Each structure stands twice: as structure tokens, then as C-alpha cells.
Amino acid sequence: MSWGVTGGAGEVGMERSSHGNRRRLFIMLVLLLVVLSIHGGVDFKAVPIDSLFPEPLADPRYPRFSLSFPLFITQAIDTNEDSTYGGMREFMEFGGAKSLFRVSPEGNGSMGIELSIGAGIFTQFDGFSNWLANFGWEGSGFVVVNIRPLSTLSFRFGFHHLSSHVGDEYLTDYHVLIFPIDSSDDIANGTTYGMEYVRDSLMLGISREIGSHVRIYGELRYSMRMFTYMYCYNQFPWQANLGIELIGDWYAAFDVGMYQESSWYPSITVQTGRILRKGPTSERFRFGIEYYRGRPLLAVFNHTNEGTAWNDVPLEQHIALGFWYDL
């Protein structure tokens, strides 16, 4: 794999660019703190009970605790079956997101700037009749700065990591790989799936609340070697998410994810259900129904080095009963 910059002056230039980006980020944060101070002082709060950037409810990869039972109408992961019908499976996710530190205008804690982190692990299992064999798992996490300049408008920017892997039980139970793994030559058919999928991205998001029950949001990620420690496994760095939510005691949420590597094919998630809240905090328990249509949720099964045209995108559809707990 080539990044187009090797050795000598190229590495020096990349390092200078990295330092320049960090300086600009620091200057922006200082300016924001100055602006807050001008408007009548500031309040400092550690571990606030809510977030300046609300969690997207229907985003299938936002860190949270969840358990769902999808009935696959169409499957894309090869299970050596003649039919594309996948039957019942199981999704489990462990994780969450929390704000660590907030600086707000004095007397107005719902606005300001904060540092937030999130991390989670998602895993997918085959149906109970197949001993819940693990198809794969992936870990994700982020460190972001959330900014809310108005009571109904929020921004976020920061760093996001995704690492997706094929499960060992899938590799052995479906004869994709001889076990134990001795070398890459053990992969059946040579290029069935990539063994891993990694993206380190810069992310920028916006959220707009319309009234007390409607929210729209968008997020853009760019995953390339902008800093020396960042990694993107292929040459298609862009990713986007858009969504709209109608929230009350009951909710309906729509999310669409698009990847440059899949020719911006829209992967659509629709959820509806009941919300049980815990006081004024951002914590909430939800249960409901989910419909998904798009590329496989486990990113590693979308492994590509040449991009995928719409007609060639592996397609999955499922309807699921789900339980979600947002921190």
C-alpha cells in the first residue's frame, strides 16, 4: 500500500502539517473560551449529566448498550447456503458516550463547549440453530469537542476510530479458513474477505433541534493519513451520516449512512419505539422495532481496494426487535 509520500522531505512535510493542525485547533479553543468570558463569565462543570450534542438514536454504530434480534430478509455474508434468506440472528453492543468537562456561559449550562468521549464493541451472531456462531466484531471510539452556541444548534469535531474483524467461529464453522491460522495462505479462495478493516477519521457534525420534539443531524468523516498515527486501509476516505428524529415518550428515528468506498450507496435504518428516561440526564432506555436495508453492518464484510459500484454492493435487509440503553 502506498500513501504517495515516502521518506525524507515528505515525512518532514507531513509532520509540519500535523503540528500546524494542532496549533490551529488549540487557537480555536482559546478563542471560544475568550468569547464565552466576554459574555459575562463562565461556569466550569466536570462530568455533566447530559451532552451538548445529543446521541443519534437510529445510528446503528453509535456506542451504547444494546441487544436486538434481527430477522434477516436478505443476507450478504456467505454462509454456504443456497438461499439469501438469513433467518434469525443476534446483535449485541457494549459501550457508551460521556461528556467529561464543560465550559458554559455563567448561569446557562445548556450552552457552551465540552470534551466528550465514547467507545463501544459491537458483535453479530448467527441464529440459535447454528449455536450463535460469531460472524465478527468491531470496536469504535471517539474523542470530540462539542459546541453549542445556541440552545437549538450544536456542532462537534474530533477524532473517530473504527476497527472491524471477521469472527474466528465464522472462519472455521463456514470453512472460510483452516484453523488454526498458520499464515495468510490459509484463507480459502484467496480473497473471500479481508481479515480486518481499520479507519481513523477526523469527524465534523452538526445537530439542529426544531421545536421540542424534532431533531435533524449530519456528520462527515475523512479517514486518511493526515497525522502520522492515523490509518485508512483503502483509498476511499469519505463517509457521511444524516438523520431525523421525532422524540417524545414514543419516538421515530431515521438514519442513513453512506461510504465513498460503496459509491455512496445509502444504508437506511428506521426505528420506532418507546423511551423511558432517567430524570434530567441523557440516560434513557428504549425498546422498539428496527428496519435496516444497506451494506453489511460489520464493516469488514465490505472489504474493498477498488471501490464498489451500486449494483455490486452486498445488500442486507432485516427487521429486528431491539432494546437500547443510551448513557
Asked whether residue 91 carries a pLDDT value surpassing 90, the answer given is: yes
Q: What integer pLDDT is reported at residue 14 of this predicted model?
A: 44
Q: Residue 115 pairs with which residues in a beta bridge?
A: 101, 145
What number is the average pLDDT over the span 19-38?
60
Q: Which of 106-110, 122-126, 196-200 has the lowest mean pLDDT?
A: 106-110
Q: How far apart are CA 115 and CA 97, in angstroms?
A: 11
Query: Amino acid identity, residue 253?
Result: A
Residue 85 reports pLDDT greater than 80:
no
State the average pLDDT over residues 199-218.
Answer: 95
The residue-averaged pLDDT of 279-308 equals 87
Percent of the chain scored above 70 by pLDDT?
Answer: 76
Is pLDDT of 28 > 80? Answer: no
pLDDT: which is higher, 312 or 289: 289
Non-local CB neighbours of 212 within 8 Å, separated by 6+ positions: none
Per mean pLDDT, which range of 20-29, 45-54, 68-77, 247-256 is the poorest? 20-29
Q: How confident is the model at residue 84 (pLDDT cuts 50, 70, 90)?
A: low
Whether residue 195 has pLDDT greater than 70 = no
Q: Which three cell numbers stand for residue 19?
A: 503540528
Q: Name the band, by pLDDT with cuts 50, 70 and 90, for residue 13.
A: very low
Nearest Cα to Cα of residue 113 among 23, 55, 52: 52
Q: How confident is the model at residue 26 (pLDDT cuts 50, 70, 90)?
A: low
Higher pLDDT, 11 or 318: 318
pLDDT of residue 259: 94
Is the per-residue pLDDT at 310 higher than 80? yes
Most confident of 81-90, 117-126, 233-242, 308-317: 117-126
The confidence score (pLDDT) of residue 86 equals: 67
Q: Which fold has domain 39-326?
A: Porin (2.40.160)
Q: Is the pLDDT of residue 156 over 60?
A: yes
* 283 pLDDT more than 80: yes
Taking the C-alpha atoms of residue 59 and residue 253, their distance in angstroms, rounded to an integer, is: 9
Report pLDDT for 110. Answer: 80
- CA dist., res. 40 & res. 1, Å (int): 53
Taking the C-alpha atoms of residue 135 and residue 174, their distance in angstroms, rounded to an integer, is 10
- Greatest mean pLDDT range, 129-133, 175-179, 264-268, 306-310: 264-268
**Residue 222 has which C-alpha cell?**
475523512
* pLDDT surpasses 60 at 171: yes
Which grid coordinates are listed for 122?
459491537
pLDDT at 233 over 90: no
